[in-house]
């Protein structure tokens, strides 16, 4: 009977290459997504992109919504609502042992940011 070699243990620590950029945004609603259909390793989730408020006091009205938790972009998109001039921190995490270019992100402005919510016009009357 042939002996099988034991599987090599998975490393406990993975070295990462991390890069970060602060992106300034005019007031508006934005969609941020992978422009190049980046291949994401399902075992590690790398390369990973995270979009968060920048350190040092972000606008409290800045809203960042991703389909994953914690600001991770994953294979989907993120919506960024900047009612005022704002900045977001875009951080890219890559496996240091895999030589690839980082994911290419695309930012599309979907519209202007409303200054304040306006009541709906033409509401039905409550008179009998």
Domain boundaries, the chain: 16-111
Q: What CATH topology corresponds to 16-111? A: Jelly Rolls (2.60.120)
Q: Residue 109 contacts by C-beta under 8 Å, 6 or more apart in sequence?
A: 26, 28, 29, 30
The predicted structure's pLDDT at residue 49: 92
Q: Are 97 and 20 in contact (CB under 8 A)?
A: no
Tell me what percent of the residues of the chain surpass a pLDDT of 70. 77
Instruction: Write down the number of H helices and E strands in the chain.
Output: 0, 7
Give the tens place of pLDDT for each residue, 28-67: 999 999 887 777 888 888 888 999 999 987 788 899 998 8
Query: Do the Cβ atoms of 106 and 36 come closer than 8 Å?
Result: no
């Amino acid at each position: 009977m042939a002996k099988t070699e034991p599987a090599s243990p998975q490393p406990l620590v993975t070295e990462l290459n991390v890069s970060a950029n602060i992106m300034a945004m005019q007031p508006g609603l934005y969609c941020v997504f992978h422009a190049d259909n980046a291949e994401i390793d399902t075992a590690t989730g790398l390369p990973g992109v995270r979009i968060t408020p920048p350190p040092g006091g972000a606008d409290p009205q800045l809203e960042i919504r991703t389909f994953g938790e914690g600001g991770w972009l994953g294979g989907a998109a993120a919506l960024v609502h900047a009612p005022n001039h704002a900045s977001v921190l875009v951080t890219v995490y890559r496996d240091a042992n895999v030589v690839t270019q980082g994911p290419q992100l695309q930012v599309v402005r979907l519209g202007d940011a409303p200054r304040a919510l306006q009541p709906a016009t033409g509401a039905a009357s409550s008179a009998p």
